[in-house]
Amino acid sequence: MQNNTFFGHSNAQNIIVLAETASTNDYLKQLLSNFTPLEEYTAIMTMKQTAGKGQRGTTWLDQPGESLTASFILFPQKLTPQKQFYLTIISSLAVYDIVATHTSGQTNIKWPNDIMIGNKKVGGILIENKISHSRIKHAIIGIGLNVFQSQFPSEISFKTTSLLKENPSLQTTILSLVTEIQTKLKYYNEMLLKEQYDELLAHYNQLLFRRDLDALFTVKGNTIKARIVQVGKDGLLEVECKQKKIKYDLKDITYQL
Ligand code: BTN
């Protein structure tokens, strides 16, 4: 099932390409549980993911050959579990940079880690950490990015886009995008290793979707009008509602589009 949009040329390093797998996150998890030696940043990518997992227990659907579905391994041994939100930051920044390089629309990071062009989602990230003895033994960074889709089913087309839809003259391959993400992950992870926490958080907050704008959210089944102030070091979303600042965890608040 080799095709030119998938392969092409790249400076690929430590990338395992699978024709088909249930979930690249699960495949990587399996390699780790079998003690397969893997270098940091190794990526597993597949042309067809049959049981892709999304955030909050959802399913991630992709069109074979048109979507990037890949998982990267990180060994953030210096990072305490209290700081694990920084993994969300570095992976969001890596994907943001790649999307911004290949398109020209307004790109933002929707807390915690959706990549948006305008009001439409182009990519999502699922991070699965293994924590043992108060350390993060490994982090699996699973990335789904819509690349070559030219149309989406009508139920989602109002809220979903792809790199090709945003840039009809897109010239790349999925393998090359995986290599680019790998390079960016390394760049931002090195900042993390140098403990540049404040710079990383500030950069993430600069790119935050709907920051400083009044917007509608659902909280405990009710609609509230609030303004996003920032995301804190703890990874919580800080909003201002009726002149009061409130912090929310992911499970407690949803954006209304
Ligand atoms: C989201 O819900 O926005 C997160 C989607 C993450 C999907 C990717 S595709 C590659 C990796 N393998 C999975 O099973 N999920 C992630």
Task: Name the residue of 21, 31, 47, 60 to mutate for ligand 1: max ligand atoms within 8 A of Cβ.
Answer: 60
Which element (helix H / strand E) includes 200?
helix 197-206
- Taking every pair of C-alpha atoms in the chain, what is the biggest distance, in angstroms? 57
pLDDT single digits (tens) 140-197: 999 999 999 999 999 999 999 999 999 999 999 999 999 999 999 999 999 999 999 9
Give the tens place of pLDDT for each residue, 150-161: 999 999 999 999
Determine phi and psi for 202, rounding to 5 degrees. Answer: -65, -40
Looking at the CA of residue 67, tell me the nearest atom of ligand 1.
9
| Among 100, 116, 112, residue whose Cα is nearest residue 177 | 100
- Considering only CA atoms, which of 208, 227, 225, 228 is closest in space to residue 216? 225
**Ligand 1 binding pocket mutation candidate from 23, 49, 53, 91 (most atoms within 8 A of CB):** 53
Q: From 3.30.930.10, 3.90.226.10, 3.40.50.720, 3.30.420.240, which CATH number describes the 2-206 domain?
A: 3.30.930.10
- Quote the ligand 1 centre to 140 CA distance (angstroms): 11
Contact by Cβ (8 Å): 143, 71 = yes
The answer to whether the predicted template modeling score (pTM) of the entire model surpasses 0.85 is yes
Instruction: Please report, for residues 55, 113, 209, 247, 254, the alpha-carbon distance to residue 215 in angstroms, rounded to integers and kept in the order given.
Output: 22, 18, 11, 16, 11
Please name the residues in contact with 218: beta carbons below 8 A apart, sequence gap of 6 or more. Answer: 224, 253, 254, 256
| pLDDT per residue of the chain (257 residues) written in tens, 0 to 9 | 445 566 655 555 699 999 999 999 999 999 999 999 999 999 999 999 999 999 988 999 988 889 999 999 999 988 999 999 999 999 999 999 999 999 999 999 999 999 999 999 999 999 999 999 999 999 999 999 999 999 999 999 999 999 999 999 999 999 999 999 999 999 999 999 999 999 999 999 999 999 999 999 999 999 999 999 999 999 999 999 999 999 999 889 999 87
